[in-house]
A = this chain, B = another copy of it.
């Protein structure tokens, strides 16, 4: 009887264990991601060490490498989870809007809106914007694609495409930073979009009108 009971217990344990081990692994990975995200939002990627991440996550230093091969790998995972997924959602704007000016305006409004209200997300964006080239932000790549299409179609005007893309990123980041610090109010997203469109050659009134249209939905 004792043996039968033991066998039963063991079978039950075997059925549960994989899930428990899986769950614990997921939890540790989550802890590492959250710790790294928070640290990098506060102090940037370059200054953050793996030691700091494992200390903050309360995980042994060596365990880090069971989940990520390097610091770059965890940065990529954070970007994929927080920034790329938001970028994917922004990609659906063009399903509802044809005008390149409105597409870019809506993207900027969404990014500035999220960055200015979600401090961890916003600071991560700011602190990582000037980090090593390997972590080029997906959002900037998307902005660059929308800018390119708008320039080719003649909707936008610019002396230099690359410099214009850099400037657009600078406007968005700077407005997010000022919003997070309470320097700008809730109109920040629309103001950033208006300024961006004006820089791209749209007349004042039109830029303002486009930047204050109802936002197209994102998925």
The interface of chain A, by Cβ under 8 A from chain B, is: 42-44, 46-47, 126, 129-130, 133, 157-160, 162-164, 166-167, 169-175, 177-178, 181, 183-184, 187-188, 191-192, 194-195, 198-199, 201, 204, 208
Give this chain's copy count: 2
B residues near A208, Cβ cutoff 8 Å:
159
* Contact among B169, B175, B188, B198 for A198, CB-based, below 8 A: B198
Separation of A194 and B158 alpha carbons in the complex (Å):
10
- Are A163 and B192 neighbours in the complex by a CB distance under 8 Å? yes
Separation of A173 and B169 alpha carbons in the complex (Å):
10
For the complex of A and B, 4 pairs with smallest distance between CB atoms? A170-B174, A170-B170, A199-B199, A163-B191
- Are B175 and A166 neighbours in the complex by a CB distance under 8 Å? yes
- Nearest CB in chain B to that of A184: its residue: B163
B residues near A175, Cβ cutoff 8 Å:
163, 166-167, 170
Tell me whether chain A's interface is mostly helix, strand or loop, or mixed.
helix
Separation of A172 and B174 alpha carbons in the complex (Å):
10
* Contact among B177, B187, B201 for A130, CB-based, below 8 A: B177
A24 to chain B, nearest CB (A): 32
A42 to chain B, nearest CB (A): 7
- Nearest CB in chain B to that of A200: its residue: B198
- Are A199 and B204 neighbours in the complex by a CB distance under 8 Å? no
Known pairs A170-B175, A171-B171, A175-B170; A181 contacts B133 (CB<8 A): yes
Separation of A53 and B138 alpha carbons in the complex (Å):
35
Known pairs A130-B126, A198-B201; A167 contacts B171 (CB<8 A): yes
Separation of A142 and B115 alpha carbons in the complex (Å):
27
- Are B181 and A167 neighbours in the complex by a CB distance under 8 Å? no
Residue among A42, A44, A166, A184 with the most chain B CB within 10 A? A166
Residue among A158, A159, A194 with the most chain B CB within 10 A? A159
Separation of A188 and B164 alpha carbons in the complex (Å):
10
- Nearest CB in chain B to that of A164: its residue: B195
- Nearest CB in chain B to that of A172: its residue: B170
Sample 20 A-B pairs with CB under 8 A, ordered by A number: A42-B46, A43-B43, A44-B47, A130-B177, A130-B181, A133-B181, A158-B195, A159-B195, A162-B184, A163-B195, A164-B195, A166-B174, A166-B177, A167-B170, A167-B174, A167-B195, A170-B172, A170-B174, A198-B199, A201-B204
